[in-house]
Copies of this chain bind each other. A is one copy, B any other.
């Protein structure tokens, strides 16, 4: 079985985005005003994620709201709470319609400067609805990085609940309002790198030995600079990264060329790597050098020279272990 641990509902029906526009421009709007039929959901997926699953040979995608649309920086905490409910409910419906193809991952109602304790209720609600993980935004300010690092006790209430519910988090930013940071080309990758470095600086997993984070996009710059990070940790008198972080931190395989995947598989222990493509996502074209889609990451794993047993860990085994709520 091939599990893609990183997919977003990037192709959600236009009615969702129209409702969102009204939500942020009007004083109040009811969730009941959002009308999306099951047929619209099916249509939004049949020619996109489902088609690509079939063509590329993956079986199930861990599916969450479109990362760029989380927009925790837009509006206040109440806006964010309502938007999270709407988006997560829609993800639940997708997974009810296609229970074999998708498993639900939720967004959280974060808001800049607001305690992450406000995410606990939605996390519990989603756990009750069968969600298997969540996306945690390390920068709710949307490219301005105004909140404290992930190792700060500020974040502990949501970590406590994640551990209690056995919900891993993919550390994933949303869109960028900072003109310096292109969102999928800079902000996403920078956030991955930044989050990992924050974790090096602290001792978070001493306080939360059961907490599990997935760093998406192949870990940002981290595997390429693995020597730098090992060296920085050593200079800071931290334990070896395998001890300090790799019992709790995982990387996905959203790296869109063979040499990048080869490096990832060489440098990071295989038990810390989860297959993912983030399709339909940041890069949608065909690589002229290969004639295949850039984000068809299964091809890179297939061509990596790993043994069948090792591939199985990356395609399935590790995902089952990390997303242990998933059956």
Interface residues of A (CB under 8 A from B): 138-139, 143-145, 147-149, 178-182, 184-186, 189-190, 193-194, 197-198, 200-201, 217-218, 220-221, 223-232, 234-235, 255-260, 262-263, 266-267, 282-285, 287-289, 294-295
Contacts and interface: CB of A to CB of B under 8 A. Distances in A.
A235 B259 CA distance: 21
29 contacts: A139-B180, A143-B145, A144-B145, A147-B180, A149-B179, A180-B198, A182-B200, A182-B232, A184-B232, A185-B197, A185-B201, A186-B193, A186-B198, A189-B221, A189-B225, A189-B228, A190-B193, A220-B221, A225-B256, A227-B255, A227-B260, A228-B283, A228-B294, A230-B257, A230-B287, A235-B285, A257-B267, A259-B263, A259-B266
Contacts of A190: 186, 190, 193-194, 221
Contacts of A262: 263
Contacts of A225: 189, 217-218, 255-257, 260
A61 B48 CA distance: 53
Nearest to A261: B227
B180 A257 contact: no
Contacts of A256: 225, 227-228, 231
A231 B217 CA distance: 14
A258 to B, nearest CB: 8
A217 B232 CA distance: 14
A139 B145 CA distance: 14
Given A181-B145, A221-B193, A263-B263, A227 B186 contact: no
Given A218-B224, A256-B227, A260-B225, A232 B186 contact: no
Quickly give the copy total for this chain.
2
Contacts of A221: 189-190, 193, 220-221, 224
Contacts of A193: 186, 189-190, 193, 221
Contacts of A200: 182, 185
A259 B266 CA distance: 8
Nearest to A139: B180
Contacts of A144: 144-145
A241 to B, nearest CB: 12
Nearest to A200: B185
